[in-house]
A and B are shown apart, each in its own frame.
Chain A
Amino acid sequence: MPTSYSDTYFPVLVQIVIAVIVAAALVAISFLLGKHVKNRVKDSPYESGIAPTGSARERFSVKFYLVAIVFILFDIEAVFLYPWAVVYRELKLFGFGEMLVFVILILVGFFYVWKKGALDWSHEAPGDSPYGDPDAAPQSSVTKNAA
């Protein structure tokens, strides 16, 4: 039975060492045995995949971020609801009250987001599409500078 810290964590250390050796070995073997061919196809991100159509550093509509943030709001709510449901019987009315306060606060946030129009995808100025303007030139100046 391991008692001290070093006894408990020694297997972890062994695993770290093995992981480092394996990783280093994989890189080293492919470097030593592999052929070194340099050309456009080899250097592309997905050699056997779909040909890239442009830079990934495009501008995205800020709405994506808003939706992502609102998603986190409800995600967190769900995370808290699970453990709460498990111990609900023991907490009784107190637990109900606490969760009620929590859910109400979340709903206030949701109401605020809704009224502020963060969920509104339909009222858009022309050229403000979340997917970018389809008629615009494929390479914007921003993308060029970034490349």
Chain B
Amino acid sequence: MPANFAPSAADYLRILPEIIMTVAGVLIMLLEGWLGENKKRNLSVQTFVAFAAALVSAVAANGNPGLSFSNMLIVDGFATFFRVLVIAVGILSLFSATQYLKREHAESSEYYALLLFSVTGQCIMATANELIMIFIGLEISSIATYVLAGYLRDDKRNNEAALKYFLLGSFATAFLLYGIAWIYGTTGSTNLSTIRIALLTPGSETNVILAGTAAALMFVGFAFKVSAAPFQIWAPDVYQGAPAPVTLFMSAGPKAAAFAVFLRVFMTAFGPITSRWEPFVWSSALLTMIIGNFAALMQTNIKRLLAYSSIANAGYVMVAIAADSQIGVAAAMFYLAAYAFMNIGAFAVVTHFSRQGEKFVNVEDLAGLGWKQPVTAALFSIFLLSLIGVPLTGGFFGKFYIFKAALDANLVWLTVLGLLNSAVAAYYYLRILVVMYMKEPGEATLSLQPVGVGIAATLWISAVGTLVLGIFPSVVLNFATASSALVK
């Protein structure tokens, strides 16, 4: 008897954000081909409209949650949270990119199409309830991001970043795919709930060992995507070499989406074999925090410094995963939202400051920014203080909830070492503040142009987001807590 594959209207409504962004991206590419090279055009407005429509439909889809497309996708609070987050990241990186592209004489619509496709992939990752869908989402997101990393194709640094990201990224994806193959061989399914049930039913010991191997292989793939140690080596080079607005995007969107699938797969499918993967996550979290923070101490290039900071932040989220609890999931969700805002804000300042050809990307170049552009410097300070984890910022509550979740899970040593790491981190963030406010303005600062509209919008939205998460954390935390039950 033929199965009924035909999806219902509700199915389509549940993936409306993805549909909108795909159609918009395809239309942009058609338009680019149609109009040819000669006509100058700026499709940022159309891209923004598509993102906004996707955001609205992602929120609307949460009103009617459930499975869709034969259990391939799931729309729940968790998926909605991450869909809204990655679309917001897409919008902010769109704002910061328009000005940058004009400055580098690289205004072309492919950038916007790639951004839309990448966010589409991340939305699919957020909603995926099935390993094949996770893989497809990850690939859509990654391939678009590989291209974006090398967007200024005449720039050697861009080329290096794109090639490194592509080669290492494909290699890591192969691990993930191999893990999927193992788990399919073991349990006979790629559906997360079915895998969970298969692992819960008492079977032979071999079965669990094979599942553990699959979990380890998939851990390699995910750890690479979230730049967790020991698979973080690509991140500093790629973040430094890629165009600043692309780094801004890469460090927030794909990372959040990768953490979303990481959480969903390990909490649901691999939930029954926690004892097998928890030591990996535990040690990776510790290693990631230590490598990220201590390497950041020695950086002079601000993009590289923020790249190591991004690695360290991935370590904090890994602590939340190691906690293996609902509170841990909620803490990770909250932290990723806070991290997205503060990190995007910091990279937006770098985008603005670096000037054409990214001439000024050293920490020392920022000397005297506090006197030349007090507002920019003040907003930058908010992001840095949030990254340190000072109260009244999103970063503080993010760290607080993560370490609370870790303590609840009896990970006392991990918590202590994590807190010590945060203290180390304060040094390199404060160094930037010192340079900004306590040094005489240099050539780089004196020649600085006023902030453009796009960057200003990014800075203000990120700052408001960081402060709202720091002053009214319950708004987001309540939603995160309510949707942190991944096992249905």
Residues of A within 8 A of B (CB): 4-5, 90-91, 94-95, 105, 108-109, 111-112, 114-116
Q: CB distance A111 to B30 under 8 Å? A: yes
Measured CB to CB, the nearest residue on chain B to A109 is: B29
Q: CB distance B2 to A90 under 8 Å? A: yes
Q: CB distance A94 to B6 under 8 Å? A: yes
Return B212 CB to nearest CB of chain A, in Å.
14
Residue of A5, A94, A105, A112 touching B32 (CB-CB under 8 A): A112
Q: CB distance B5 to A111 under 8 Å? A: no
A111-B26 Cα distance, complex, nearest whole Å = 11
For residue B202, CB closer than 8 A to chain A, the reply is: no
A18-B3 Cα distance, complex, nearest whole Å = 45
Return A86 CB to nearest CB of chain B, in Å.
13
Q: CB distance A91 to B5 under 8 Å? A: yes
Q: Which of B95-116 contact A (CB under 8 A)?
A: none
> Which residues of B have CB within 8 Å of A94?
5-6
A111-B5 Cα distance, complex, nearest whole Å = 31
> Which residues of A have CB within 8 Å of B2?
90-91
Known pairs A91-B5, A112-B32, A115-B36; list 17 more (Cβ under 8 Å): A4-B204, A5-B204, A90-B2, A91-B2, A95-B5, A105-B26, A108-B26, A108-B29, A108-B30, A109-B29, A111-B30, A111-B33, A112-B29, A112-B33, A114-B33, A115-B32, A115-B33
A5-B30 Cα distance, complex, nearest whole Å = 52
Residues of B within 8 A of A (CB): 2-3, 5-6, 26, 29-30, 32-34, 36, 204, 206
> Which residues of A have CB within 8 Å of B36?
115
Can you report 23 A-B residue pairs in the complex whose CB atoms are below 8 A from each other? A4-B204, A4-B206, A5-B206, A90-B2, A90-B3, A91-B2, A91-B5, A94-B5, A94-B6, A105-B26, A108-B26, A108-B30, A109-B29, A111-B30, A111-B33, A112-B29, A112-B30, A112-B32, A112-B33, A114-B33, A115-B32, A115-B33, A116-B33
Return B278 CB to nearest CB of chain A, in Å.
25
Return B30 CB to nearest CB of chain A, in Å.
6
Q: Which of B30, B33, B204 has the most CB of A within 10 A?
A: B33
Residue of B5, B26, B34, B204 touching A115 (CB-CB under 8 A): B34
Return B102 CB to nearest CB of chain A, in Å.
21
A4-B205 Cα distance, complex, nearest whole Å = 11
A112-B34 Cα distance, complex, nearest whole Å = 8
> Which residues of A have CB within 8 Å of B32?
112, 115
A5-B204 Cα distance, complex, nearest whole Å = 10
> Which residues of A have CB within 8 Å of B33?
111-112, 114-116
> Which residues of B have CB within 8 Å of A115?
32-34, 36
